[in-house]
Structure 1
Amino acid sequence: MKAALLNAFGTPLSIETLPDPVIGTGEVIVDVVATGVASYAHGVFSGARNYLLEPPLVPGAGAIGRVRAVGPDSTRLAVGDWVYCDPTIRARDNAINPDTILQGWTARNPAALSLHRFYHHGSFATQMLVPTENVTAIGDLEERDAGKWCALSQLLVPFGGLLAGELQPGDTVLVNGATGGFGSAGVVAALAMGAAKVVAAGRNQHKLDELARLLGPRVSCVRMTGDVDDTRRICELAEGEIDLALDILPRGASASQVLAGAKALRRGGRLVLMGGVRKTGDDEPALPYAWLMHNEVTLRGQWMYPRVAIPQMVSMIRAGLVSLTKFNVTEFALDDANEAVAFAADNAGPLSLVVISPCRRKYTHG
């Protein structure tokens, strides 16, 4: 198979020919038709993010493709089926607390490295080997639309957070960190799940304006400034207080933005933390113990999404509740993988997808 290989951190991806994967029991081989490129992929490949992965490997998390071969224990999947390959692989020997990896991306802890070494290669390739339970049929589609379906990788992460927060139809929802790929997809998911109003919070006014233009009048946008009035501005746009806050802020966000979003919650509200905020100096989100207790706020951390979320989101797309036409897709050939990584870093924004399509030869980008 042809693949983009990361031979060492800090080196460009190398386009090489590798042995085709060999199927075993409990596995599926998929021909990759399209795979997304994260805006922060360069930080992963350079080693700056300190992700737990071991080069050389084929990177890439999640893919849209067609089944090439199925193992003997597969009862529904068939050769030729269009599928989504979920990168969240959970070890099968501990149902309560399984060690977990994102295939081709990272292991969650050192105990998961054995899993990472077995399902080592990700989706920047013409083929990939995936556990059977990580392959979900998505129904027929035109090959030219496969890139749009890579939006599943962006939608599923915040969808998992909104499910964890028990979003109810008619809720007012805050998405804190709404101008990034996951945050903007979270706004889309919240609207599809029946939110009456979504307050989209971010620091870039231009990107917020674009998000509001794309998603319509149920979305109100607030530019976060880091001052004490951020919470007041959120509540004004919500015309009251927030029922559910989804915090999906990036690593570089400040503690003040986290707390400003949380403090906008009503009594009995729910706060779901999915972001990557890290301590910078003394600036670390402090747990407002008394405020959480007196206001009966439910606090929930969520990483990724339950497996059942995948067919649910596919059904929402098929029903028209989620429109993939809202996403702007820029596609690259596998030979141009390094160009795709650079483009993704320079053009991150709401509802923006950068896609590698390994089976096609060349693209004109625009």
Structure 2
Amino acid sequence: MKAAILKTLNAPLSIEQMPDPSAGTGEVIVDVVAAPVLSYAKEVFSGERRYPIELPIVPGCGAIGRVRTIGPDATHLQTGDWVFCDPTVRSRDDALMPDIVLQGWSARGEGGNQLQRYFHDGPFAEQIRVPTENAVPIGAIDPADAARWCALNTLLVPYGGLLASDLRAGEILLVSGATGNFGSACVAVALAMGARCVVAPGRNAQALEDLARRFGERVRTVLLSGDEATDRERMQRAAPGPIDCVMDLMPPSVPATTVRAAVMAVRPYGRVVLMGGVGMLGGAGLELPYPWIMRNDITLRGKWMYPTQAVTLMTGLIRGGLLQLGHFDVTTFALDDANEAVAYAAANGGPFRMTVICPAR
């Protein structure tokens, strides 16, 4: 099969032939139809983002494809089924504390590194081998729509946080980082789940205007000033009632004070979910006052990625017409043009924008 291979950091992907993968027990081979190119892929491949990957590797993170071969223990999948190749691979020998990797993308810890050495290569190729449970059926689709279904890759991350938050229909959500790639997706998903209103703060006035245009009065935008107390008051005033839940999706470059302004806008007995990156690049972490958390009975939790059932549930939101993939603008590239795709994604990232590699193109 043909694949794009990262052999060394800070070097172009090499487009060449490599052996087809083969499926064993608990594995599925999928013909890749569309694979998203993350906007920061260039930073990973250059080594600027110090991701713990072992080279050479066929990179990528998630894909839409059709089942080519199933292992002997598969009982529902059939050859030709359309599936989402979930990149979140979990070890199977510890249900309580599984090691988790993003196939073709990153790993953490020795257990994660060991898992990644086996489920190593990602979807920048004509075929990919994935664990059976990671080939999740999405139902029949028009092949021309496969690239747009790659939006699952973005939508699922905030969906995992929203499931963890126990967001209920009719509640008010605040999305910290609403003008970013994952934050804007979080707004769309929360509305699809029945949120009464989503408070969307941010510094990018144009992106805030776009959110208001797309989703109407159920989104209340707040232009941030940079002053913690002022911004918190503005967010609370923008909401039509007490804020039930706060979802933080801020990137590592954002000051902790910006995150705290949003987190502490939540009502007493409210919930906060942290999925962002504050402190990951050094600098101050997120300081929250112990008395405020305790006396106001605040539920605070972290969340990374999403549970295994999330793909099926999100597919239901899309099939039911509650979540529109049409929000996403998609630019596609052939596998031979993978390096151009990586450069394009870096220069054209942002809310509701996707770059996709289509190996069969």
Distance 1:319 1:300 in 2: 30
- Measured after TM superposition, the shift of residue 279 of structure 1 is 5.6
Give the equivalent residue in structure 2 for 1:138: 138
Structure 1 segments of 4 or more deviating over 6 A?
none
Alpha carbons of 1:282 and 1:311: their partners in 2 closer, same or farther (altered >3 Å)?
closer
CA offset at residue 284 of structure 1? 2.4
3-state DSSP of counterpart to 2:312: helix
Preserved CA contact (<8 Å) 1:329 1:353? yes
Counterpart residue number, 1:271: 272
Matched, 1:343 2:344: yes
Within the alignment, does 1:216 sit opposite 2:213 as a pair?
no
| Pairs within 5 Å for 1:282-301 | 282-301=283-302
Asked whether the 8 Å contact 2:172–2:241 carries over to 1, the reply is no
Deviations 1:321-355 (A, max 9, x none): 10111111111111111111111111221111111
Per-residue CA deviations over 1:132-176 (Å, capped at 9, x if unaligned) read 011111111111100110011111110010010000111110111
Deviations along 1:114-143, one digit per CA (max 9) or x if unpaired, are 110111100111100000011111111111
Answer whether contact 1:173 1:242 (CA < 8 A) is retained. yes
Tell me the equivalent position of 2:257.
256
* Offset from partner CA, 1:163-201 (integer Å, 9 cap, x none): 100001111101111122211111111001110000112
Which amino acid in 2 is paired with 1:149?
Answer: W
Question: Does residue 31 in structure 1 map to residue 31 in structure 2?
Answer: yes
Aligned in 2, Cα 1:254/1:190: closer, same or farther, shift over 3 Å?
Answer: same
Q: In structure 1, what is the Cα distance between the partners aligned to 2:110 and 2:224?
A: 37
Instruction: Determine the structure 2 residue equivalent to 1:21.
Output: 21
Counterpart-to-counterpart distance in 2, 1:257 and 1:40: 23
Distance 2:160 2:56 in 1: 31
2:56 corresponds to:
56
Identity %: 56
Contact in 2 for aligned 1:169/1:193 (Cα 8 Å): yes
**Consecutive unaligned residues in structure 1, runs of 5 or more:** 361-366
Q: TM-score, normalised by structure 1?
A: 0.96
Secondary structure of 1:266's match?
A: coil
Unpaired stretches in structure 2, ≥5 consecutive residues: none
Structure-1 separation of matches of 2:184 and 2:328: 10
SS at structure 2 position matched to 1:267: coil
Deviates more, 1:321-330 or 1:287-296: 287-296
Asked whether the equivalents of residues 328 and 352 of structure 1 are also in contact (C-alpha less than 8 Å), the reply is yes
How far does residue 109 in structure 1 lie from its aligned partner after superposition?
A: 1.7
d(CA) in 2 for partners of 1:233, 1:80: 52
Q: So what's the TM-score if we normalise by structure 2?
A: 0.97
Alignment partner, residue 93 of structure 1? 93
Q: How many residues are treated as equivalent by the alignment?
A: 360
In structure 1, the partner of 2:165 is 165
In the alignment, the residues of structure 2 paired with residue 109 and residue 213 of structure 1 have an alpha-carbon distance, to the nearest angstrom, of 43
Greater mean alpha carbon deviation, residues 144-153 or residues 35-44: 35-44
- Judge which range, 240-249 or 97-106, deviates more: 240-249
Q: Does the aligned pair in 2 maintain the 1:178–1:350 contact within 8 Å?
A: no
